[in-house]
Structures are given as structure tokens and as C-alpha cells.
Structure 1
């Protein structure tokens, strides 16, 4: 085993490169006949790809996202022509990044209530098919095909289209390497495509110069020759990468082979391997005029000079020094994995854009290592499911949420009742305290109510007060926000006319009861007065039964 003799500081330079984005570059593989499956081309700092893999809309979103991009947005005539070039003579339907997340279509709006997967509606061109369906039950996702003139056609999101189109943006590209006479350079970009004569490549791309077999990686507009940092593509080594005691990344080979001194990454057979007598556990390197043992990245050399110590508890912070990496102990040693919210791409841990898969019902905001959901006005996050949104008023009266195609089909938040007015409907807070839902104290709140108990009692089932046998000292009143009573769990559908009818029926019953009581009492009074007139003064009165 034999490491290369390169004493440069490429490893330290690699560690200084932060904030590196890894993007996908594909190559223009067709002309008039269209693009080959799963290929594309780049213009400026953008790349566009086409994948002829049957997928539903969500799966297509995820695949574009995993490569650092998103479904294509067709906002201008230029991007429309890009779609035409990508599809060529391809047949079938392909997803683009236009969809409707909630609500009904808005025929008056430019994008008709739809939005791009980038969560905006900015667009300079609109290419809707004449058969656009403006009903609330219309399909929410959009596809295009050559046979329909690339018109935007509504499709069910769960159905499998024939493929999808992705869009990527990148910065700090590398120019193609200079090629000498008799040399060729083959480029491999992060998603695995290979090509030659490429003028611009995104960070993370690698190159192999033939016939020397020297390797390079693109980082921040510069090509770094292998071996580079062991965390990235194993340093470009053919066999394994290790870090020498001077913190310089080095390649080494299996027993009986040595590193090619010209390219410092490939292995070649050696009749005389100077490392064999040392019996190194992992690898060896040239130390002055002799050789010494070294260990794989994350291990340290033992006192015997040839064994390597494995820290299985990850206490050695030097084990996974890459940005956004973390060390995980396993049975056989340790593993360097990405922190939560990050994924491995091109040997680096890059942020996962969770919003690309539309995990939120309304709005999603991506952040390093995570994301947050938010809701439209008139809604709030559902406490039971933060990615969902529920109706919310927060005051005594709000305008009802009505179907734009049916003004009589309206909803109100829990704890509110709908009231129809001359030109619209409103949601009015219900005073649950008037219905005696609490055993003791009750405080009405917007959309709900709160039950309280006196000192010495505790609240159970959020509404009943029971004696607190464990109480040794007087306690402050127990307070609990009670759940909505069952009748108000769903938006109320009682109209004003219904309420008036209920009130009139109640008043009628009360008047009838009062009238009957008055009639009975009046009849009894008249009978007693007649008996008194017939009896002589001072004599006792007799009834017919006494006689």
C-alpha cells in the first residue's frame, strides 16, 4: 500500500469552501428529433431537463427537488420555446410546475387561481387550453404535450403522466478544462450524466483527463485536482481516501498495488510495495525517506504504529468535520451522515427543500434544515395537524367562507353560527355560556368558552367541578378551555329564518301555557265566590256531597 507524495494544502482549502450548492447539469443530446430520455440542456445559469419516467405530480416534484431544482415554470415565450426544444418529437403528457393548492379556480385571474410550484403567480404568458374547467371540482395539476400544441391542460394530480420537466438554477460555474493535443476530458455532473466539450458546469461536477487519468472537482468556479477532501466522492480516489497526520487527504491502494505517481488517484500493480513490511492496518504514506502507517478518516493511529483506534462513541469531533454532517455510532464503528433536514449530494450535505413536495395545505417557507407552514387570512394552523389549516375568525363577527359558484353554500369556524344578510353571509360567535355547559363559572371566548371551578374543586372532563380531596390549602379557581359542545363542532347551517321560527314557536307555547293557567285559576275563583253568596252569614258552607 502506498499513498501519493503530494504535500499541497488542497484538503484545507476544501474545508474553507462553505455554502456550496450542488446542481444537476445535463447535456443536449438531440436536435430535430428531440432530446433523449432523461436529458436536457443549460443556458446561462439555468439547466432544464426532461424525464420520460411515468410519475404522478407529487413524485415528479420530489425527483426534481432531490436534484436541487423544481418542476419547470413556463413564464415567458423563451421558457415556452425551451419546453418545445426539450420535448422535440416526444409524445405523451409531461408535468410542468403549475398547480392549484386549494380553493376554486378564478376565471378572472391571469393564472385562473393556479400558481407555480415556487409559490407565486408571476407570469408574462398564459397558454391555457380552450377546454379550461372553472368549476371547483376541476383538476388541480397541469401538463403539456406536443400533440396539443403545448397548451396547459388540467390533469388529476394523482394520475401518472408520461414524464416531467425540471428546472435548475446555479451560481459559480466552472468553465470547461483546456484540452491539449491528444487529450480528452470527460465530465460527470452530480446526477450521473456524462459528456464532453461542455463550456459551463455547475459546482460538484467532476472531470477526468485522459490518457493521464487525472481527476478534478468543480468548486466555486475553480477546478481542484484530486485527491481532495475525503468527504467528497472519496477524494476522487480509485480505492480509498485517508488523511495523513499533516491533515492532507491522500489516496491509497490495496496490498500489492501502489498509487500512480502521475495522477495520484489510480492504483497500479507493484512488484515491490514498500508498505507491505509495515503491516499497516489501513494505509501508509511516505515520511521523508521512509514510510509510516496512517489510518482512514475518522480513526487514529494506535501506539504500536500500525493499528487504528475506532471511536465508536463519536466523541472525537474531528470524525465528521464537514458542514451539516453528524457522527452516528454503529456496531462496526461510526458513520458520517447528514443532519436532519439535509441530504447527501455530491459528497456534501445540502439543505432539503421540503416545500418542493408541497407538505403544507396553504403556504410553506423553507429554512435551513426544516420548513414552516402558514395559512391564508381567515385560517389558522390546525393544532392537531400543523400542516393543515382550519377556518378562524378571532372576533365576534366575520364574513363567511362561501363557494364562489354557490353563494348559499357557506362555512363558518367552529363555535360560530351563520347569518344570511342582504348581499352576503356572516359568521357570528355563539355564546356557549348561555347554554350552561359549565358546572360553575363560564367565560365566553371567540369560537369557544372556558369553564372554571371554585377553590377546593377541580375541573374534570373540561366542564364538571368535583371536590378535590387532595387539597390541603385553598386553591385558585381551576380554569380550562372547554371543547366546543357537540352542536357546534361542525359549521352551523341554521339560517335566520330558522331561528325566527324557533323563537316564534317558543313564544306561542309560553303564551298558551299562561292562557290555560289563567283560565283554570279564573274558573276556580268564580266557583268559590258563588258558594259564598249562597251560604247565610255565620253558617258553614256545604257541598253537594255533604248534603
Structure 2
């Protein structure tokens, strides 16, 4: 059982490596512990190198004549140039240095073979990256931004040699001819009928019988193998019997081919039809019994199948930063949140590169953390944003560096203009009567409280408690109780319309407020003075006319003398 578990883990890892990336190789060849795959997708040197790394390998290093021959085999029928893992990081070529100053992408310059083209002049202006072609397999420096195909190299442990099997067990058929074998190198994404060795996870298929084998730890295991790896090699479906042994089964009316134990053929009689199994049945001595696909278990009725939570087994997805996701009939290994799959590993994603924080971002394994500059604090409504903050009665104002007249203060503060540096002064909200009863000022906010016998509602209202009323209709407020008020900090942005103490514009300074008051007083005084002048002036005019009236009458009289 331990061997099966180890097989499962190794092959799942290799299969994940084979699925990386969006392009597939057009061929491959393996010898010894090395495999080389060829990609015809046009790429520059940097993109080609990244594509190989993503697949768990690196750009091919042609260090020996054997490696050169492998490259020649792969490129024999493929036109164009292909990148190999040789480049010059800096400086000019040096004919006396190893590899003329070039290095392999593995970081070394060790090589038992060199294949420089005769046209390479070795000047400082020569390109820094190297490619080869099928024409001569010579190393030709070309510009790194040029496009071409590329060759990836992979190293493995536990490689298998060519499979030699036959119906007689010695690699030959009953007629004496050798049985043909084809290979599916699913871990690297190519098929081959001519390769010297195979990496773990490769599948060998014999012809004409279709017998399958899988490579594991340097040896070939016959199908059906573990149902979790490519359905055990079964043509239809794979299931495990009560002894946890994998077996293949077929659709109703078809039976497993006894020659290879994986393919299906027409069945003259199907004993499983009478059992009406939900999934499959298997032979038990003289009879048959129902069994279920991998990832399911047999229900109590002996026919139905129910899903099994494979992720309940802690041995699933044991690698670092991997998580197990249960699926119908199985499970899937995925990267945890904040990680992405690179090759066969889950690598931390640096979320800070997308600038999620308003001020400072610190990347953490699987996530990130935001912080604020001095004089700011985290916005409680949005952890990635910051807002001005002052922990004292007076703080320096934050002004626009390009316009010193534009300054800002935290909520609950008012700007005071000064000759040297503007300051933010705490607003005493308690002076405005925002609380029904008790009020205590705080930096940037305030707190309302109620007297004993009252309950604070909505942060500022005090409502009398019904159970505190005495028999005479009075309240406990006059009883002399020494209970202290229960202060509740009122939000600087109250949810209710009243009293909203801190919604006053922070840019209004104390000097500006005094100016408005003085101007208002001057206007009122002017109006009163004008009214007074108009009233008194009218009275004086009337009195003057009255005084002048007798004089007009006196002047208008005639002196009459008597004749007698």
C-alpha cells in the first residue's frame, strides 16, 4: 500500500509538470536520465527560457556529442532555428575563456563539447544568445530578441529502458516475431516509438494486443495500475474491489478483453446486467458482485455508489502550499490562495506588484499587508486605504506641496492658519450641544452619555427607562444615586442625521470664522445707525417748520388804525 501511495504522489507531480503552459512540444527524445523536447512556437530567448522553466526544465545544454546527436535527431525534419541554453550575460567574447565567455542557463560554463560556427567572428558587437538549426547543429550567436523555436531539457530519476515484452514473456510473439511498442510520454507531452529511455509516468503500449505498462522507479508496472493515474490505463473506467485492487470494467453489454485487461469487447453474455449495478461488477469466486468507480463507495443496498471525500485523507496533496479540492469521484490538487503553479511548485504571488494599498504594501506568504504613512491610519471601512489621523489636540496640517494654501485636516479638526505652518486644532463638539445630556470631548470626536435612569439611543439621545419611574410618577434621577454616566464614543461620522458634529469643512480656519462674525456685526450696526439717523432727522425738520410758522403769520398781519 505504501508503494502505491508513493507511486501516486510521484506520478501526480509529474503529470502536473506536463500540463504546465499553453503550448505543446512537437516531439522529444530521451537518453540516460535526460530528455529533450522541441517546440516550434516562435519565441524570443527570454520567453523560451521562461517556457522551459514553467515546465520543470531549462533551455537545452548541448554539452556532449551525445546531446548534439539528440538535437540533430529532433531537428532533422524541422526547419528554422531553435534556441539552446547558451548566452553571454555581459562583456565581449573571449576566445581564451571557457565557452568564449558564454554561459549555460544553469549558471556554469562546464562543457565537454563546443560547436561554434565558423562564421562567428567573436567581436564585441556579436549577439549574446545562441541558436542551432538542422543544417549543421552549429552554435550561432543571434540577437536575443529574434524569434525561433526552442529546445527544453529535463532531468529525471528512475528512468525506464525500452520495454521488451511478448505473449511468451520474452519479447516475442507466438510466431517468433518481436512485439512492437509505442510510448506516451504524458509527463512531457509527446509520443514516440524510437527513444532509448523513458521518464517516470510514461506509458508503453504493445501492439497488436494493446497491453499497457507504466514506468515507475525504473521498472514497468502492468495495467491496471492505481485508478487515480489516468484511470489505471483502462479503456472505459477503473474501479477497486474490496481488497483495494484496481480493475477495469466496461459499459453494459461489453466485457474486458482478457488479453490486456484494459480494453473492452462485445460480450456474448453479461452477468452484470442482472445485478443492475450503478457502476460495475466483478467476479467473486463462482459469482459476481457490484463495485464502484474510484472515488466512490458501495452503498448499503449493494448496488448504488456514493461519493467519497478524498480530501479527508491528509496524505492527499502533501506538498507545500498545495490544497486538496474534492471532486465527484476524486480530488484535485490546487495552489492555496495567494500562490500560483510554476512548474511543479506553488509559488507565492507578490500582490504588491498590482499596488493594492494606498500607501505602503508588504508582501506576505499567500497574501499582503497594508500600512499607512506617519500621520495617517487605516480606514476602518477599507483596510487598503488610509485617512488622516491626529492623536493630540493639535497637529500639523497636511498641505499640498505645490500650493501651500491648500491644506487638509483629519475629521473632527479645524484648520488654523499660521505664519509659519498651518495647524489642525481639535473641535470641541461638546460646545455645540450635540448630546442630550452628558458630553465628553475626545481628539477628533466626542462621547455622549446619559444620567442614571436614561438609556443612550443613536449615540446622542437619552431616553428615560420605564422601569425607573417611582410610584409618584417621578424618576430615580433625584434619589441621590451616585451612579456615573455611561459614556459612549460617538462616531466621527454618525449614521443618523443628528448631530453630525464633524461634517464641518476642515479647511475653515479660526481667523476666517472670526472675520465672518465681525463682518456680520458691522453690517447690523450700520443698519441700526442708518435707521436712527433717518428717524431723528425727520423730527428736526418738522420742528423747524413749526417754529417758522408764527413768523410767517406775524409778517402776514397788517397794522389797522382806527379813524376815530
| Superposition TM-score tier, normalisation by shorter sequence | 0.5 to 0.7
Equivalence for 1:15: 5
8 Å CA contact 2:293, 2:329 repeated in 1: no
Please tell me whether Structure 1 or Structure 2 has the larger radius of gyration of its CA atoms. 2
Equivalence for 1:95: 83
CA distance in 2, matches of 1:194, 1:221: 19
TM-score, normalization: structure 2?
0.51
Among residues 130, 153, 161, which one is paired with 1:175 in the alignment? 161
Q: Secondary structure at the match of 2:232?
A: helix
Structure 2 unmatched runs, 5+: 17-24, 165-170, 356-372, 376-387, 401-408, 410-422, 430-439, 445-564
Paired residues for 1:337-356 under 5 Å: 337-340=332-335, 353-354=342-343
8 Å CA contact 1:244, 1:294 repeated in 2: yes
Per the alignment, do residues 283 and 83 of structure 1 end up closer, same or farther by CA in structure 2, a change over 3 Å counting? closer
Per the alignment, do residues 308 and 84 of structure 1 end up closer, same or farther by CA in structure 2, a change over 3 Å counting? closer
Q: Does 1:287 align with 2:287?
A: no
The answer to which structure has the higher helix fraction is 2
8 Å CA contact 1:281, 1:306 repeated in 2: yes
Equivalence for 1:187: 182
Among residues 306, 310, 316, which one is paired with 1:309 in the alignment? 306
CA distance in 2, matches of 1:140, 1:74: 17
Q: How many residues align?
A: 354
8 Å CA contact 1:23, 1:168 repeated in 2: no
CA distance in 1, matches of 2:127, 2:37: 25
Q: Secondary structure at the match of 1:41?
A: strand
8 Å CA contact 1:186, 1:194 repeated in 2: no
Among residues 60, 80, 85, which one is paired with 1:72 in the alignment? 60
8 Å CA contact 1:239, 1:267 repeated in 2: yes
CA distance in 2, matches of 1:462, 1:126: 66
Per the alignment, do residues 302 and 183 of structure 1 end up closer, same or farther by CA in structure 2, a change over 3 Å counting? same
Q: Residue deviations 1:402-435, cap 9 Å, x none?
A: xxxxxxxxxxxxxxxxxxxxxxxxxxxxxxxxxx
Structure 1 unmatched runs, 5+: 1-10, 25-36, 342-350, 355-366, 374-381, 387-436, 440-450, 476-547
Q: Does 1:55 align with 2:52?
A: no
8 Å CA contact 1:457, 1:467 repeated in 2: yes
Per the alignment, do residues 81 and 241 of structure 1 end up closer, same or farther by CA in structure 2, a change over 3 Å counting? closer
Instruction: Give the aligned CA root-mean-square deviation in angstroms.
Output: 4.7
8 Å CA contact 1:274, 1:291 repeated in 2: yes
Per the alignment, do residues 248 and 335 of structure 1 end up closer, same or farther by CA in structure 2, a change over 3 Å counting? closer
Paired residues for 1:28-177 under 5 Å: 38-61=26-49, 63-65=51-53, 67-75=55-63, 79-80=67-68, 83-84=71-72, 86-88=74-76, 91-99=79-87, 105=91, 115-118=103-106, 120-124=107-111, 125=114, 127=116, 130=120, 134=124, 141-145=129-133, 150-157=138-145, 159-161=146-148, 163-177=149-163
**1:234 shift after superposition:** 0.8
Equivalence for 1:227: 224
Q: Secondary structure at the match of 2:212?
A: strand
Greater RCO, 1 or 2 (C-alpha within 8 Å, sep 6+)? 1
Equivalence for 1:256: 253
Per the alignment, do residues 23 and 114 of structure 1 end up closer, same or farther by CA in structure 2, a change over 3 Å counting? farther
CA distance in 1, matches of 2:399, 2:232: 62
Q: Does 1:242 align with 2:239?
A: yes
CA distance in 1, matches of 2:129, 2:298: 58
Equivalence for 2:297: 300
Per the alignment, do residues 205 and 213 of structure 1 end up closer, same or farther by CA in structure 2, a change over 3 Å counting? same
**1:255 shift after superposition:** 0.4
**1:216 shift after superposition:** 1.1
**1:321 shift after superposition:** 4.2
**1:267 shift after superposition:** 1.3
8 Å CA contact 2:275, 2:289 repeated in 1: yes
Q: Secondary structure at the match of 2:258?
A: coil
CA distance in 2, matches of 1:143, 1:197: 25
Per the alignment, do residues 452 and 146 of structure 1 end up closer, same or farther by CA in structure 2, a change over 3 Å counting? same
Q: Secondary structure at the match of 1:54?
A: strand
Equivalence for 1:529: none
Q: Residue deviations 1:320-371, cap 9 Å, x none?
A: 94665855467xx466323229xxxxxxxxx9655xxxxxxxxxxxx84226
